[in-house]
Structure 1
């Protein structure tokens, strides 16, 4: 158009600006607007604000807005929505308050609570604030609930960790005849993943196939994550393989699945495949890759990938990446290098970074550095019992009981209670929960009898109890106490209650101890069963006497 010497007008610029997805292109257009004298046009200026906001340039958007001689409702909406999209929530509220205070322009949909999409936004606000009673009350007042209304409620439950209610709402939505969209399926799959409910996730997968969303990349990514977090890496790989169209999210979901299941070599291989496919990695991708390097002792590769972020992809490493690097050095026994790395970080280390270093100190018994790091963590997060327990265990293993008891007294002073360990597994749609020394189950006698048989079989195979993991016990009771850990009780029940040959899937809320890890390996070989244990850190898949983590977790 300009090549034919036809001058653009305000309609032209208002139409072209929404097509400027790149800030650099938008700035060139802004220069043309000023050259032609349309910068004071309210419609053009509003489109400029919207363009800068969508490009993430809120400073420029605000400048354009401030310089507008005249503003209309579109102008105000553009800048408010821009702040919202860019996570500037205080600024968004501030501008809305200014709009109300001017009392010249009446906000659209303000005071019209009966409109469904206004109620949806209100529900979203209540859910994100954790006020579920108000969200549900509002939900019941909407007569015609569309898929967005249901999605808002389901997402609210997921964001606040109320996964069972999220699944229940999804199924009620289906019964009421509301067809789900990709957001519905992705959200409810995240709920199933949060509960590690494989049966629930499989039922949702059936609905995805029936409704034709199987090829949707967003849904595929959530499917991969759901199966991985439910302990079925086979199904996660199948979901990835069945969809040929992949983006960075689905690639990263599969990378994370391998990483969670201790398949570090597959993480590196898949990452290289991703790069060959021409897909650029994102922030989360590198977290999985660096973690995989840490779990395979690839220190040099880890630093190469870490440097690749900034050199090739112009990406600044974040705290998660620094924590991975500290973990990488710590697992390799290079505690001094890890400490120097932390001290030279360009950003302030957080609990994930110090926690990685403390875990390395525990692994290698470096009590002096461990005490120094633990004290930093006590200051940052005084309510986290895990840091106290790690330091206590380090003192106790060295026989320094007075210092260990001092840590306990500090916990009491700060009113911190150790989270009780528990393990659970699902059998015939019922969840069975076990604690250490648990005798509350209806099959207690059979469970302890099975533990006795298992102990005999293991000792015939050469099993030696690792009594250092029975820290709070003394004398001969140390070995006996090891056999009553919650995951061993869950294992015995699973062997008794599940069909012969069926996988035993156990979940635990804390890190599994080394002795239980050894027992699971022996048991998988003796009973010829796959045992999948998900602890607080990762999945362990035991088969034929070997664990997927390679005893490096």
Structure 2
């Protein structure tokens, strides 16, 4: 076109920028951006919206935001591009973008730009990531005021949001009220049941889906297999895995194989899981060996744990978490020389364990606690309340579980366990809420055995419902019991 001497119009650049964004071709995207400016379209709202979208899709959100802020006028499409861009970054585990996306959403409203369904579907998953029920109710009410409560995509996002806030009953009510359901709607509800520990309900809904006119896809089966794994439904999981190809012609991918290894491994069928890996028609990946290593940690199998860890070290040598898991397996078997060897290996490679933290939302402010941290303004009150709480639960049968701590004196073990981040978050919640109020905690790692046991007793002595979302699932603690049935 250029060689023919034809001067590009503004739409020429928007199409080119979209192509660069779709291909994540940042180098060419920047070239097109420069040519757009040189052609005099630097103030055109359509062209600059395409520029913003291109940078966002290329994961250059700071550049996208700079271009966005320079726009003399911004329409709904431009707002959607930048809001979606911030939300998209969540997929790359940059959690600091959550607040950025929400701030932009609020700013958008202040500038009297009315959000549409695309905006809502971009923002709702951001709220799902932080699992705050109050925020879920707020955005749900906002969708109703925008008359988007009949939009299938918005309502599907809300079903997923409520499930990820631990409110499965509300999610199901929304699901049942929908006049039309997409396959992603069914998937969201099935996955919601699974991650909240209601495996039987997930299976029942899947069977209902099979009787409907909606055909399951690969994500559906991933959700069903995960639900079976969380609830120990081994035979059901094996049946559905086989049915993927036999009944629906769907080829299992790496994530499905990882779910099957997790399902078998959690159930203690480690040798069956390892045999399953050896017979995979595709080369096992990180998710498969990661599930195997996690199962070996739970069931303290050194030999298979070493095999899985070695494969993971080859596939992802810079991930410290696998080294920590292997060291814990050795420590549980009192193999101290091997523990020291793994720790030395980590030091040489400069690898570190991901620090555990727990968060709780109070009055629209997120409070985050690390194990043993004392930097919170209410630290003294928190530790005083926690000490009294530990005495209360010990009186009704709680015994600290120090198996996760090795090579440490017993009194030190108890002190370390007593200041884990989720216990600090719970104590903070008890201090700052009225009796009977449920507490909702977000944990970035798997809940440890001691905190799980302690939280059951805390729910008993305080009469509180405590909902903990860890990296894998939800735990609903109430009256001294957990919804997971101690299977996680």
TM-score for both structures, normalised by structure 1: 0.79
Equivalences for residues 320-335 of structure 1 within 5 A: 320-335=255-270
Deviation at 1:281, TM superposition (A): 1.0
Counterpart for residue 309 of structure 1 = 244
SS in 2 for 1:476: helix
Q: Is 1:127 equivalent to 2:56 in the alignment?
A: yes
Counterpart for residue 68 of structure 2 = 139
Deviation at 1:494, TM superposition (A): 1.0
Equivalent residue in structure 2 for 1:440, among 375, 378, 381: 375
Q: Is 1:365 equivalent to 2:300 in the alignment?
A: yes
Partners in 2 of 1:423 and 1:437 — Cα distance?
12
The 8 Å contact of residues 524 and 531 in structure 1, kept in 2 or not, is answered as: yes
**Structure exhibiting the larger radius of gyration computed from Cα positions:** 1
Counterpart for residue 63 of structure 1 = none
The 8 Å contact of residues 382 and 424 in structure 2, kept in 1 or not, is answered as: yes
Partners in 2 of 1:489 and 1:128 — Cα distance?
39
Counterpart for residue 137 of structure 2 = 202
Counterpart for residue 150 of structure 1 = 79
Deviation at 1:170, TM superposition (A): 1.4
Counterpart for residue 322 of structure 2 = 387
Equivalences for residues 14-93 of structure 1 within 5 A: none
Deviation at 1:504, TM superposition (A): 0.8
Counterpart for residue 159 of structure 1 = 88
Tell me the alpha carbon deviations over residues 226-279 of structure 1, each in whole angstroms, 9 at most, x when there is no partner: 222233333322332332321111111111111121111111111111112221
Deviation at 1:121, TM superposition (A): 2.0
Deviation at 1:223, TM superposition (A): 0.8
The 8 Å contact of residues 458 and 480 in structure 2, kept in 1 or not, is answered as: yes
SS in 2 for 1:533: strand
Equivalent residue in structure 2 for 1:180, among 115, 122, 140: 115
Tell me the alpha carbon deviations over residues 169-207 of structure 1, each in whole angstroms, 9 at most, x when there is no partner: 112212222221111111111111223233333222221
Alignment gaps of 5+ in structure 1: 1-72, 98-106
Q: 1:131 to 1:448 in 2, by over 3 A?
A: same
Partners in 2 of 1:187 and 1:494 — Cα distance?
30
Q: 1:444 to 1:499 in 2, by over 3 A?
A: same
SS in 2 for 1:420: coil
Alignment gaps of 5+ in structure 2: 1-7, 91-96
Equivalences for residues 395-544 of structure 1 within 5 A: 395-471=330-406, 473-544=408-479
Q: Is 1:118 equivalent to 2:47 in the alignment?
A: yes
Equivalent residue in structure 1 for 2:192, among 235, 253, 257: 257
Q: Is 1:375 equivalent to 2:305 in the alignment?
A: no
Partners in 2 of 1:174 and 1:439 — Cα distance?
38
Tell me the alpha carbon deviations over residues 103-145 of structure 1, each in whole angstroms, 9 at most, x when there is no partner: xxxx9x9874544333222211111223233212321333332
Counterpart for residue 270 of structure 1 = 205
**Which structure's relative contact order is higher, taking Cα pairs within 8 Å and 6+ residues apart?**
2
Alignment RMSD? 2.8
Tell me the alpha carbon deviations over residues 438-478 of structure 1, each in whole angstroms, 9 at most, x when there is no partner: 22233333322322322222222222221102236323322
The 8 Å contact of residues 164 and 195 in structure 1, kept in 2 or not, is answered as: no
Partners in 2 of 1:472 and 1:419 — Cα distance?
20
Partners in 2 of 1:111 and 1:309 — Cα distance?
54
Partners in 2 of 1:432 and 1:549 — Cα distance?
26
The 8 Å contact of residues 358 and 425 in structure 2, kept in 1 or not, is answered as: yes
Q: 1:85 to 1:230 in 2, by over 3 A?
A: farther
SS in 2 for 1:495: helix
Equivalent residue in structure 2 for 1:220, among 126, 137, 155: 155
SS in 1 for 2:248: coil
SS in 1 for 2:410: coil
Counterpart for residue 282 of structure 2 = 347
Q: 1:182 to 1:319 in 2, by over 3 A?
A: same
SS in 2 for 1:462: coil
SS in 2 for 1:295: helix
The 8 Å contact of residues 509 and 535 in structure 1, kept in 2 or not, is answered as: yes
Partners in 2 of 1:457 and 1:199 — Cα distance?
30
Q: 1:410 to 1:143 in 2, by over 3 A?
A: same
Counterpart for residue 548 of structure 1 = 483
The 8 Å contact of residues 22 and 57 in structure 2, kept in 1 or not, is answered as: no
Counterpart for residue 285 of structure 1 = 220
SS in 2 for 1:160: helix
**How many residue pairs are counted as aligned between the two chains?**
467
Equivalent residue in structure 2 for 1:241, among 162, 171, 176: 176
SS in 1 for 2:59: coil
Partners in 1 of 2:350 and 2:135 — Cα distance?
38
Partners in 2 of 1:86 and 1:317 — Cα distance?
29
Q: 1:473 to 1:116 in 2, by over 3 A?
A: same
Tell me the alpha carbon deviations over residues 146-165 of structure 1, each in whole angstroms, 9 at most, x when there is no partner: 21110100011111131111
The 8 Å contact of residues 231 and 484 in structure 2, kept in 1 or not, is answered as: no
Counterpart for residue 70 of structure 1 = none
